[in-house]
Amino acid sequence: MIFSAAQIALLINGTIEGDPTASVNSFGKIEEAGEGQLSFLANPKYEDYIYTTKASVIIINEGFQLKQPVQAALIRVTDAYTAFATLLSKYQEIMQQQLSGVQEPSYIAKTAVYGQQVFIGAFAYLGEKVKIGNNTKVYPNAFLGDNVSVGDNCIIHPGVKIYHDCVIGNNVIIHAGTVIGSDGFGFAPQADGSFKKVPQIGNVVIQDHVEIGANATIDRATIGSTLIKSGAKLDNLIQIAHNVEIGNSTVIAAQAGVSGSTKIGNGVLIGGQAGIVGHIQLGDGAKVNAQSGVSKSIDPGKAVTGSPAYDYTAALRSQAVTRKLPELEKRVKELEALIKQLLAEKV
């Protein structure tokens, strides 16, 4: 598909500098883009490329000052990165709209229902009383167990497994290989040293505008619901245990794990490979640095790091002191020698 600079500017509410008829049919990084491609400049460290790139159209920030002329048509916007992301989203929507209908072979239970403009890929399985909203895409080899509900405009990528009774909201994206609603890790220790499985009879509820990366696992609740609230973004390879609650617009990076019944507030940022124990609370706006081990609750807005995790600023000061230990050891030995010398002179 071909778009002109004028058409793109209209989509992202931008102002054109240069040829409004300049056309593009694909996207490219500013350092590599060729003729007929659209690029953007948001990071100042890539500024030099704007004067050498072959891109036909470039999105830039309103306040960016050119140091020399450029060949490309420019579109000035408030936030170039966000505008570029918006365009990519629209492009993806257009491409996905081409998919519709039910491919064969697939299994759809007689009691399952789905809305308009739905795509169900080959070898997908829809169990009894499954409900799928309008414009939702269920890609090949996906499994939706009995009584699963999926809202409008969702994307269920290949190989996703959604166990029975789980509820998925609108505009949710779940990437390949992720498992929603597997049993929580509940075992009661017995007198003979064995463990008795505790049945997990709850479900998982994922609210609107959530995105979950590939090969993540979100366990169903023992009783009640494991809850992922609206706007939360979970990276690949994340473990969310039973009865966890994750707040609105919280972001969790890859390989992090959250233990059972922990409550995470709104707008929390959790770095990669962080581990969070069960039955604690992370307040709104809290920040957990990568590879931190969180063993107790965190107050709203507080940043922590380390294992066990503690105050981020205090941790940095401790690290600075630690790096100076060899120098401090040397000074202590010099002081000890000086003291010994002074004592000897007194005698």
Query: Residue 49: in which H helix or E strand, if any?
Result: none
Q: CB count, 10 Å around CB of 346?
A: 6
What confidence score (pLDDT) does residue 155 get? 96
What confidence score (pLDDT) does residue 345 get? 81
CB under 8 Å to 179, separation ≥6 — which residues?
Answer: 160, 161, 163, 216, 217, 218
235 with 257: CB under 8 angstroms?
Answer: no
How far apart CA 124 and CA 162 sit, in angstroms, is: 12
What confidence score (pLDDT) does residue 347 get? 67
Query: Residue 260: in which H helix or E strand, if any?
Result: none
CATH number belonging to the domain at 3-97, selected among 3.90.1150.10, 3.40.1390.10, 3.40.50.620, 2.30.42.10? 3.40.1390.10
Return the active site residues.
242
Quote the crossing angle between the two packed helices 325-346 and 312-323, to the nearest 10°: 60
Which of helix, strand or coil describes residue 328? helix
CATH of domain 101-313: 2.160.10.10
pLDDT in tens, the chain (347 residues): 799 999 999 999 999 999 999 999 999 999 999 999 999 999 999 999 999 999 999 999 999 999 999 999 999 999 999 999 999 888 877 776 678 899 999 999 999 999 999 999 999 999 999 999 999 999 999 999 999 999 999 999 999 999 999 999 999 999 999 999 999 999 999 999 999 999 999 999 999 999 999 999 999 999 999 999 999 999 999 999 999 999 999 999 999 999 999 999 999 999 999 999 999 999 999 999 999 999 999 999 999 999 888 788 888 888 888 888 889 899 999 999 999 888 888 76
Nearest residue to 186 via CA among 216, 226, 159, 149: 226
What confidence score (pLDDT) does residue 129 get? 98
How far apart CA 123 and CA 329 sit, in angstroms, is: 67
Burial of 92 (0-12, 13-18, 19+ CB in 10 A): exposed
What confidence score (pLDDT) does residue 93 get? 77
What Å distances lie between residue 240 and 122, 197, 274, CA to CA? 29, 19, 12
How far apart CA 193 and CA 267 sit, in angstroms, is: 42
What confidence score (pLDDT) does residue 132 get? 98
Query: Residue 70: in which H helix or E strand, if any?
Result: none
